[in-house]
Copies of this chain bind each other. A is one copy, B any other.
Amino acid sequence: MRGFISPERAARIHGVLSRRQTDVTLVMDNIWNPHNVSAILRSCDAFGLFRIHLYYTTEKWPEMGTKSSASAKKWIERVGHESAPEMLSGFKQAGMQVIRTGFSETAKPLYDFDFTKPTAVILSNEHRGASPELIDQVAEELYIPMQGMVQSLNVSVAAAVILYEMFSQRRRAGLLDTPALSPEELEALALEWSDK
């Protein structure tokens, strides 16, 4: 049954959907820690992602029903994958540049990428790094420009910084001023979200 929602909540839902970016996405490549998964989802919601991809081949499918997620999972479409070629060909068909986090000699700092283009960024497992099949098939690497003595950041912190850079570039380019979703998609989703 359709729930009853206030005009304020309806307007809020409409506003959020009208800022959702459908052509940028993150891939969680076997991110292991459920707190990290939840925190990353929350940042995806905060910085306007519409959909994320979950590539789980070595780690078990992440629990996302924890309280700490503050229910961000309700507001982010999640697509599961077990096949790297299938996932990557989907990105290719969508015209997306595909980038993974990494530290090789050819890696470039986050701010050198143009995130106004359709983009998928692959975030790697906390301990083992990127899955070998993704290393093989994705050449572009980005790193967070760390200036300090400690050589690593928590993956959820790294994700937030990447998402904020994407958001900032798109904001400056005016991409947030016009909905990415079509009016029909937006209305259908608004109806669905009203029931959540």
A residues apposed to B, CB below 8 Å: 12-13, 16, 19-20, 39, 42-48, 70-72, 74-75, 111, 144-150, 152-154, 156-157, 160-161, 164-165, 167-168, 171, 176, 193
Contact = CB atoms under 8 A, between A and B. Distances in A.
B39 A149 contact: no
A147 B167 contact: yes
The oligomer's copy count stands at 2
Say whether chain A's binding surface is mostly helix, strand, loop, or mixed: helix
A74 B165 CA distance: 28
B167 A165 contact: no
Given A154-B39, A160-B160, A165-B164, A148 B70 contact: no
A149 B12 CA distance: 8
